[in-house]
Amino acid sequence: MKPQSTKIRGMNWLAHVRAGSARSDNLIAGLFTASLLMIAPLTHAASCAINSVSNLNFGSYDPFASTALDMAATASITCTSTKNSETVAVAISLGTGLAGSYSPRKMQGPVDTLNYNLYVDAAHAQVLGDGTGGTSQDMGSATISKTNPVTFTETIYGRIFAGQDPGVGAYSDPIVYTLNF
C-alpha cells in the first residue's frame, strides 16, 4: 500500500500589532480557514479526509510579559473504508512556513518578524513538523470498516515567544497542513 496524502494550503498564522502608544501595543493572531489543495488518488480501501481546522487566536500579546503566549487549535480527520475491517494509520505534518525552518517559525510583518512555533504536545517540547530535523509528526491509528468510520481529533499547540518587540503592523505565516495515510 502506498501512503496517500491530502494537503491544505492557505493556513495563515496571522498576528496584528495595532497602532498606539509605543511598541507595547496588543498583538492579535488567528488562523484563516484553509482551502483544499489536492487529494491524491487512492490505491487501497481506506479513505481519509480533513473535516476542519479550527482557528488559532493568540489574543493579546504583551512584549513586556516574561512568559510566552500559548494557544491551541484543533483539526478533525475522518477515515472510512470499503472493507469489512482494516487498520488505518494517519500522520499529520506541518510545513515550515516563510522561515524555511522549524526552529523557530517566523511570522512576517511590514518591517519585523515575530518568532513562534507549533507543537504536538501541550508542554511545547515536540515541534510539529514533517518528522525531520528534530520535529515530530502527529500520528494515530485505528481499525475501521464499512460501518465503522473513525474520526481523529488533533490538537495543534501554538506559542509566541516572550520578549519580542515587533513593530506595528500585520504579521502572517502561511503553513501547509499535510495528512498522510
For residues 50 and 76, what is the distance between their CA atoms, to the nearest angstrom? Answer: 6
Domain that holds residue 90: 5-180
Task: Give me the number of domains the chain comprises.
Answer: 1
What rounded mean pLDDT belongs to the chain? 78
pTM for the whole structure: 0.77
For residue 60, count other CB atoms closer than 10 A to its CB.
12
- Cβ(79)–Cβ(152) below 8 Å: yes
pLDDT tens-digit series, residues 90-119: 999 999 999 999 999 998 888 899 899 999
Backbone phi, psi, residue 126, to 5°: -115, 110
Residue 169 belongs to a domain with what CATH number? 2.60.40.1090
